[in-house]
Amino acid sequence: MTTFTEAPESGDPWLAQPRALIVTTYGLYARDMAGPAGPGGTAGWLSVASLIRLLACLGVDEPAVRSSVSRLKQRGVLEPRRSGGAAGYALSARGLAILAEGDERIFGRPRARLADGWVLAVFSVPEPQRHRRHELRSRLTWLGFGTVSAGVWIAPAHVAAQAAGVLQREGLSSYVTLFRADYQAFGDLRDQVGRWWDLGRLQRLYQAFLDTAGPLLARWGEAAPPAGGEAFAGYVRALTAWRRLPFLDPGLPAELLPSGWNGLAADEVFAALRGRLASPARAHVLAVTGSAPGVTG
């Protein structure tokens, strides 16, 4: 999901763009549904009619669904296919790969250990290709890298394998050299981390999520979870608001986090919402599509 982060920077994090809501829906439910045979297999297909019905629960009208799907097709994320006479869209190989990377970060939530060390990305992009420099910096940001200097970026070592795969897939590996490293000197490492990453911004984003998700959990925490479209809408909006945060959060070792780090509380609230909403939301998708939804999320 590294390229699917369209929730607003400020304001209500639940007010995501229709395109982001569609990607969340595909990521949660489409990959294991039966779809058309042919190149790319059957994974990742939803009919247009089903998608329109599902997104209506989120207040997205039919023209917006069709426009957003068209844009995702242009970006190489979705591919048009038919099944049993029904028009629909399947995830492309690229879309499937990006969603698989997102699963690891969103649901795995790895937390580094100080003893594991770091990975350094050292890069140089020729000036005539500065658009690639912007793309490279964006990819490194969504992989959780912080900035040591203009051409030297750093992340916890557990990011190394995923970073290598993403940079290779996006055609950016020729500009970058990755190194494993240990911190030697100078200065306090906790202070250095505060310079390499904008942890204050991440704190604010976590708080914005808590401000909306906390009351929802309080409402649904004791009573029976909502059923049908309400559960689906709540879960899709929660995950869409949440899924950008694990990509911005480098997963720093606990001893390097600022005091009062609210990312831990946000993680617990999201996990609790997921536990309350995932099952009834999946049941709603099954009722709308008539297919067996997957288990992702």
Q: Give the Cα separation of 232 and 269 in Å (integer).
A: 17
pTM as predicted: 0.82
> For residue 293, what pLDDT is reported?
43
> For residue 272, what pLDDT is reported?
92
Map residue 269 onto helix, strand or coil.
helix
Using 50, 70 and 90 to split pLDDT, how confident is the model at 242? very high
Start and end residues for every CATH 3.30.70 domain found in the chain: 118-181
Quick one: what percent of the chain has pLDDT higher than 70? Answer: 88
pLDDT exceeds cutoff 50 at 193: yes
Average pLDDT of the chain to the nearest whole number: 86
Give 184's contacts (C-beta < 8 A, 6+ positions apart): none
pLDDT exceeds cutoff 90 at 206: yes
Higher pLDDT, 110 or 174: 174
Higher pLDDT, 10 or 102: 102
118-181 topology per CATH: Alpha-Beta Plaits (3.30.70)
Average pLDDT over residues 100-118: 84
For 250-273, what is each residue's pLDDT tens digit?
Answer: 899 989 998 889 999 999 999 999
For residue 127, give the amino acid letter: E
